[in-house]
């Protein structure tokens, strides 16, 4: 399914926009986190991937090198920040720096998954707002624009001073769910913090919603669901 | 009721901390938005309010002047950003600049209500993230720290690079509500975006919660409540 | 009278330059402060005004929205900072941010009247240099260039780090005054701070000048003229 | 004559303030531009000058070295920017950097003459605002505060984001002039740009003023006085 | 052996300075990279380690939390950037941010090994200067000072705008080597890039030196030694 | 000999790249330090030098003025920082500012000799890292890119956040030396700090190398050569 298949949806909010030809000569690079996605994006755009190389040394360092001229070009570097999160993030910073120092006209970081986006607030004393730290590091490295999707909270766009194109996967997902034709569907948010996004899914699908009231008492990965707000009895539940 | 009365609450999250004596000599100023609050804070701290003057001219400009020496002092300027929002905000910027240029050691902006905190995301194309614009202007004016409360979303702390002390009014409010001893109480969030804060109230009060699914179809001030998620029948509803 | 009518003047100083086609696609927006001027500029340039919307809420906030794609465009937003000064200034900041976050290539703030330009120095202790505060806020919001005219003092250009195009209305005004053909004309500056600008008028008109020595003892709007330096007896006085 | 002798003057504007003991341990350094002034300041404060060394090499470079520990100290470096202007300015930048990198708590640049302050505006196309360039370089080197006097225009304070203590020599000068007891004194500004300062002298001395209307047609050092505005016949003229 | 044992050395260059009591209340934290070193430093200083917690989640994220009040304190966080390099570096950034947002007066990053210091130049086209990227990220996170040792090249201090205390291990190492009393000792640098440091060792030990001319033809970890410059025959070689 | 004559060399490192046409309209200016070089560059590019003027006043100030429109142009200003170093450096800053304020699209500083590049480290306590101070001043003035050659150490590129094109003269020099056909040639580095560059010469020429171990005991211009590492007996020595 291509992006243009989504045109029929009626959601009023921000939507993936159709691609605009960049100014100057386009270049697409894939970091070591996203070789296939980079390849797919380049194929969709009809351009070759720019050759480049990321090398991890046994001491834990990563070294990056761009293998063709990018002077004056409009460069998109595709590098998600998923597992191994910190390796991928540092590699992203080095790509940005290498491209800017090679006189790229504009560098856009394409980050399909932005891991630290959960660290978006100071909900207990003396913790870091890690998503802001990451945003500052990306800007300090010289990034001109960020293209990402499905951030943990929409406020994270405001952690960046540079423009952020924030895309949503829900249009593609809901199209598929509608096609499944499930009777008596209800959308359920796993916790209250995700309720607003769940409401957007429910709205796109035209079905009601419920909300789980989950808590994570200790700082480990164990969560406890306290109650479900709303009535899910005898319904097909779409947990988002 | 003083802040120390709140010590009995059991909430694990961020809480108003007891006041720490600042480094150097303390000074408290009240801008034209908060004369009474400034007076109350100074009285509680046992210091006189520093004399100062804000003047609005018929052409719409505001002019501020600090009327005692603040060189090397630790200054708190109390200036909320409520109606008239833009006048109060610009006056705040000028206080910060006047104090920094007068060689104050540290300037803390005490902002009991931070109006543009609703403008914390880009939920439709080509709008401004106004809370970030305000945060940047406050930092550009030279502010060292911000002390505010009950921000529209906790992520707004991350819009600032400087430290933000974010206080919550809910401990004081819940103490009063408990004292009212209302039977069959349920907390109801007026919309999904406020659900997480409502859950914190429900948690503090030890009662269940419900959530209104509200929408604001046009950009005017008219909202439509679509449904209530959760069961509020025959209960005392605390709308937060 | 169009700008090109002014070509005959002999003033050696900075002059309005003829318009240069911008790089990329031009867009002109009018903020709520200058709908007619924005319309006139767009008409002169032969482009349609870009649709946009500024909305003031009863709580005092302003919300702005750009209603057409500005990605990669060279955008001029026309928003003066006259009465209500602070509303207009905050709206300007939000326009700049909305345009930059919408990936405009370059944003130029067109500010026909820059109100706080009188606050350009620290002429008594512990006041703010308000024009610098405004310049910093405009730059922090992401503005690329400023186009303004008849600043209170030419040094204000230096408060900005970004380029400022500073235009002068005096060529147009003097053309009209010459046409009036007033005998025994003398230019008089209302106070000493404006003497240099008055000299420029006198020079353009080829007439002598005098200077009023005014003072503003209190910080209200009452000024006292102490003396007139130079001889204005029996002459037509042009107070500038 | 010490600063405290000036207390009798009645000028309402900014005045030299009496010295406040700095936070932490005071250190005073004299750059190669001001050995005597630095010595005099240190003697007045009752502290020894901190030993330091500036060396000019035959290739034109200057090298600076601080010869005692300044860690955590409140350092004042005395280095005017008079002839040779560019050597003295670069040396000032290096002092600031050397002190900050040596972990001085705060560095104040004491600049008795700030040469490029005449370059404070863009009065013809495509020139530099040199005073802003110098201010930016001083801040980029890490300076915390500037102490200077008799800037060409008071707006230059606004070129700095850091605090500037701007002192005026006129109180000392006028005291001496009053002591001379000259009959029929009139203050005359050599050109219109200096009229406001001349008015301050006239005001301090309680005498009238006149203004020369000078111009500098070419960019060399030749000025032409066109006229004198005001009546100086048969008077003792104090050209300021 | 304590730092004071080193006082007998005659090296004129920078030396470990004796510890100065910080301004305000000292706090020492150990990140997860250096628990023992942190413990040893705290013990040497006679202060308890401040309790804190770093947690790595299975998705690869790290979360940090400071467990005691640091408001107004002078905090040293000990976190080396050795293997796993990227995890340790990101954790360092989050410590700095958490401490600054908790209103620490000053945060010093103590980095015993700064891994990316080899990435200090652009010795082939289109690579990143990784040490500068790291320095910028550390500064963007809000760090006030860095304390590190034995950087790959001394120029890296200049990548930071904040003060860097750069210590050398060689005084301790040479003391031990002298104690071994090896006959006919010669210092040999493994490659030309390290020759200057090897000369410092040779100078401290009072012995001659030789230099290996090594190259690393491909970007893997295999190096080839081409020749040895200087005569090492029949000598004890200290490879540094 | 043109740059393209160098194509036959086999050095793997960074090389002068062939000239790429800039975006927008090219402009080349020659500051007062490099009139002939600027002329030669313009001639090679087939463009006229843009008229401009630098004027030194007897008080030691320099004033610069660009004499043709540079709005939207891609400007290269050629201004080396050789003797008189500080005059040339300050003039460079003013050129950059004048060009940026005249709305040049991009300003590249072409600095054939960057004098303070020796001040690239803190090799004794409390000195300045002068090359970083210069880099910061150049960036604060608004420079977009730097083009320089044969920096004292390659790390200096990392002192700049903006892109630096770092060229090497050694390809041209070695071509000439090969042509001289000297028998038994050996390259000798005058001191250890320059050993790495000497190795590059030796590598280009295919000859062995030796290294002088020089020291500069006092801070004057007298150096002492302690020993020569490597065997130079009966050979032709190329001291680089």
3-state SS, chain F, equals CCHHHHHHCCCCCCCCCCCCCCCCCEEEEECCCCHHHHHHHHHHHCCCECCEEEEECCCCCEEEEECCCCCCCEEEEECCECCCHHHHHHHHHHHHHHHHHCCCCEEEEEECCEHHHHCCCCCCCCECCHHHHHHHHHHHCCCCEEEEECCCCHHHHHHCCCCEEEECCHHHHHHHHHHHCCCCEEEEECCHHHHHHHHHHHHHHCCCEEEEEEECCCCCCCCEEEEEECCCCCCEEEEC
pLDDT at position F196 is: 84
pLDDT for residue F16 = 41
Which of D123, D132, D154 has the CB atom closest to C122's CB atom?
D154
Q: Is B51 on the interface with C (CB under 8 A)?
A: no
Where does the pLDDT of residue F231 fall: very low under 50, low under 70, confident under 90, or very high at 90 and above?
confident
Please check whether residue B122 touches C, CB under 8 A.
yes
Check residue D22 and give its pLDDT: 55
Residues E35-41 have a mean pLDDT of: 96
For D168-205, write each residue's pLDDT tens digit: 999 999 999 999 999 999 999 988 878 888 888 998 99
Token pair for F236: 């032709």
Of chain B, the percentage scoring pLDDT greater than 90 comes to 71
pLDDT of residue E14: 43
Q: Note the pLDDT of residue B224.
A: 73
Beta-carbon contacts of residue C135 (< 8 Å; ≥ 6 apart) = C156, C159, C160
Find chains touching chain A: ≥3 CB pairs under 8 Å: B, C, E, F
Q: Which residue of B has its CA nearest to A161?
A: B132
| Structure confidence at residue E215 (pLDDT) | 67
Selected residue of C145, C158, C161, C166 to mutate for chain F interface (largest F Cβ count, 10 A): C161
Decide if E90 contacts A89 (C-beta within 8 A): yes
Catalytically active residues of F are 214
Q: Do E145 and D103 touch (CB under 8 A)?
A: yes
Mean pLDDT, rounded, for F19-24: 53
**Residues of F numbered 136-195 whose beta carbons fall under 8 angstroms of chain E's beta carbons: which are they?**
136, 153-159, 161, 164, 166, 192-193, 195
Chains sharing 3 or more CB pairs under 8 A with chain D = B, C, E, F
Tens-digit pLDDT profile for residues B134-185:
999 999 999 999 999 999 899 999 999 999 999 999 999 999 999 999 999 9
Q: With a cut of 70, say whether residue B11 has pLDDT above it.
A: no
Question: What are the distances in angstroms from CA D180 to CA B197, D172, E195, E231?
Answer: 75, 13, 71, 82
Q: Which residues of chain E neighbour A133 with C-beta distances below 8 Å?
A: 93-94, 97, 140-141
Is B142 close to D165, i.e. CB distance below 8 A? Answer: no
What's the pLDDT at E129? Answer: 98
F57 exposure class (CB count in 10 Å sphere: 0-12, 13-18, 19+): middle
Most confident of D58-72, E207-221, F10-24: D58-72
pLDDT tens sequence across E129-165:
999 999 999 999 999 999 999 998 899 999 999 999 9
B53 touches chain C (CB under 8 A): yes
> Domain spanning E172-239 has what CATH number?
3.40.50.2020
Q: Which one of D22, D24, D72 makes the best mutation probe of the E interface by having the most chain E beta carbons within 10 Å?
A: D72
Burial of B222 (C-beta count, 10 Å sphere; 0-12/13-18/19+): exposed
Q: Does E122 touch chain B (CB under 8 A)?
A: no
Query: Does the pLDDT value for residue A107 go beyond 70?
Result: yes
Dihedral pair phi/psi, residue C151, rounded to 5°? -60, 150
Two structure tokens written together for D156: 């230059």
Q: Does the pLDDT value for residue A2 go beyond 80? A: no
Tell me how far apart the alpha carbons of residues E188 and E212 are, in angstroms, rounded to a whole number.
Answer: 7
Query: What positions of C carry a catalytic annotation?
Result: 214
- What three-state secondary structure class fits D171? helix
pLDDT at E22: 55
Q: Inter-chain contact E120–F209, Cβ cutoff 8 Å? A: no
Place of tokens 């895309």: A167
F25 compared with C156, residue with greater pLDDT: C156
Q: With 60 as the cut, is the pLDDT of residue E10 above it?
A: no
**Neighboring chain A residues of F163 at a CB cutoff of 8 Å:** 100-103
Measure CB to CB from residue B60 to each of C59, C86, C133 and give the nearest one.
Answer: C86
The confidence score (pLDDT) of residue E191 equals 83
pLDDT class of C216 with cuts at 50, 70, 90: low
Whether pLDDT at C92 is above 60:
yes
Enumerate the CATH 3.40.50.2020 domain ranges in chain A, comma separated: 17-167, 172-239
For F142-162, write each residue's pLDDT tens digit: 999 999 999 988 999 999 999
For B209, the closest of A13, A164, A229 (CB atoms) is: A229
- Asked whether the beta carbons of A113 and A81 are under 8 A apart, the reply is yes
pLDDT-based confidence at residue D24 (cuts at 50, 70, 90): low
Q: How far is E140 from chain D (nearest CA, A)?
A: 16
The structure's pTM equals 0.90
CB E153 within 8 A of CB F155: yes
Q: Which residues, 6+ apart, have CB-to-CB distance to E75 below 8 Å?
A: E27, E28, E29, E50, E99, E104, E105, E106, E107, E108
pLDDT number for residue F129: 98
Residue D12 pLDDT exceeds 80? no
Q: Are F and E neighbours with ≥3 CB pairs closer than 8 A?
A: yes
Residue E5 sits at φ, ψ, to 5 deg, of: -65, -15
Q: How much is the mean pLDDT over chain E?
A: 87
Q: What are phi and psi of F221, to 5 degrees?
A: -95, 10
Tell me the average pLDDT of chain B.
87
Please tell me what DSSP assigns to residue A17.
P
Tokens 């919001």 map to which residue?
Answer: C141
Q: With touching defined as 3+ CB pairs under 8 A, do chains D and A touch?
A: no
Cα dihedral A90, A95, A101, A107 in deg (nearest 10) = -120
D105 with D72: CB under 8 angstroms?
yes
Length of chain C counted residue by residue: 240
Query: What confidence tier does A4 reach under pLDDT thresholds 50, 70, 90?
Result: very low
Instruction: Find the closest chain F residue to E12 by CA distance.
Output: F124
pLDDT of residue D240: 87
Q: Tens digit of pLDDT for each residue in D80-127?
A: 999 999 999 999 999 999 999 999 999 999 999 999 999 999 989 999
Among all residues of chain C, which has the CA nearest to that of F70? C20
pLDDT at A139: 98
Find the residue in C nearest to A162 (Cα): C101
Reduce the DSSP state of residue D20 to 3 states and report it. coil
The residue whose two tokens read 């190329």 is: F238
> Given this model, what pLDDT does residue E121 score?
94
Say whether the peptide bond before residue E84 is cis (omega within 30 degrees of 0). Answer: yes
The average pLDDT across E80-109 equals: 97
- Which residue from F8, F45, F40, F44 is spatially nearest to F171, judged by alpha carbons? F8
- Percent of the residues in chain C that have a pLDDT greater than 70, as a whole number: 86
User: Mapping DSSP to helix (H, G, I), strand (E, B) and coil, where does residue C58 land?
Assistant: coil
Q: Is D22 on the interface with E (CB under 8 A)?
A: no
Say if CB D87 and CB F26 are below 8 A apart.
no
Q: Which residues contact A34 (CB under 8 A, 6 or more apart)?
A: A78, A79, A80, A112
pLDDT of residue A6: 31
CB pairs under 8 A between D and F: 148
Report the percent of chain F where pLDDT is more than 90. Answer: 70
Q: Is A133 on the interface with E (CB under 8 A)?
A: yes
For residue E145, list chain D residues with Cβ-Cβ distance below 8 A: 103
Distance between CA atoms of residues D63 and A103, nearest Å? 33
Counting Cα atoms < 13 Å in the Cβ hemisphere of F26 gives 12
Q: For residue F24, give the nearest of F57, F70, F86, F78 by alpha carbon.
A: F70
Question: What is the C-alpha to C-alpha distance for residues E212 and E218, in angstroms, rounded to an integer?
Answer: 18
Distance CA E5, CA B66 (A): 54
Q: How far is CA B128 from the centre of its chain?
A: 21
Whether A59 contacts chain E with CB within 8 A: yes
Q: List the alpha helices (DSSP H) in D25-145.
A: 35-45, 85-101, 130-140
Residue D176 burial by CB count (10 A; 0-12/13-18/19+): exposed, middle or buried?
Answer: exposed
The burial class, CB within 10 Å (0-12 / 13-18 / 19+), for F71 is middle
Q: Among residues B62, B41, B35, which one has the least CA distance to residue B149?
A: B41
For testing contact with chain B, the best of A13, A126, A195 (most B CBs within 10 A): A195
Percent of chain D with pLDDT over 90: 70
- Best mutation target, B161, B164, B166, B167, to test chain E (most E CBs within 10 A): B161
Name which of A90, A118, A122 is nearest E86 (Cβ-Cβ). Answer: A90
Q: Among F65, F139, F140, select the one facing D126 at the smallest CB separation.
A: F65
**pLDDT digits over F187-208, tens only?**
999 888 788 888 889 989 999 9
Answer whether F65 touches C (CB < 8 Å).
no
What pLDDT, on a 0 to 100 scale, did the predictor assign at position F45? 93
With CA atoms as reference, the chain F residue closest to C157 would be: F101
Q: Report CA-CA distances (Å) from D224 to D158, D215, D221, D237.
A: 31, 5, 10, 19
Does residue B230 register a pLDDT over 90?
Answer: no
Q: Do F72 and C23 touch (CB under 8 A)?
A: yes
Is the backbone peptide bond immediately before D84 cis, with ω within 30 degrees of 0?
yes
* E71 and A CB contact within 8 Å: no
d(CA C222, CA C215): 9
CATH of region E17-167: 3.40.50.2020
């Amino acid at each position: 399914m291509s992006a243009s298949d989504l045109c029929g949806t009626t959601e009023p909010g921000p939507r993936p926009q159709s691609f605009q030809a960049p100014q100057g000569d386009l270049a697409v690079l894939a970091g070591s986190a996203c070789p296939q996605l980079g390849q797919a994006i380049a194929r969709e755009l009809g351009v070759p991937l720019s050759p480049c190389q990321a090398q991890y040394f046994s001491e834990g360092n990563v070294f990056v090198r761009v293998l063709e001229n990018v002077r004056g070009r409009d460069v998109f570097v595709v590098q998600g920040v998923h597992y191994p999160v910190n390796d991928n993030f540092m590699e992203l910073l080095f790509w940005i720096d290498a491209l800017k120092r090679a006189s790229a006209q504009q560098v856009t970081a394409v980050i399909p998954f932005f891991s630290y986006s959960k660290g978006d607030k100071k909900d207990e004393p003396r913790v870091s707002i890690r998503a802001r730290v990451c945003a500052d590091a990306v800007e300090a490295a010289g990034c001109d624009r960020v293209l990402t999707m499905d951030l943990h909270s929409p406020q994270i766009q405001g952690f960046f001073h540079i423009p952020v194109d924030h895309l949503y996967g829900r249009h593609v997902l809901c199209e598929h769910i509608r096609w499944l034709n499930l009777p008596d569907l209800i959308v359920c948010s796993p916790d209250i913090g995700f309720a607003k996004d769940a409401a957007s899914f429910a709205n796109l699908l035209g079905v009601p919603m419920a909300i789980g009231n989950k808590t994570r008492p200790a700082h480990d990965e164990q969560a406890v669901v306290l109650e479900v707000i709303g009535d899910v009895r005898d319904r097909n539940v779409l947990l988002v």
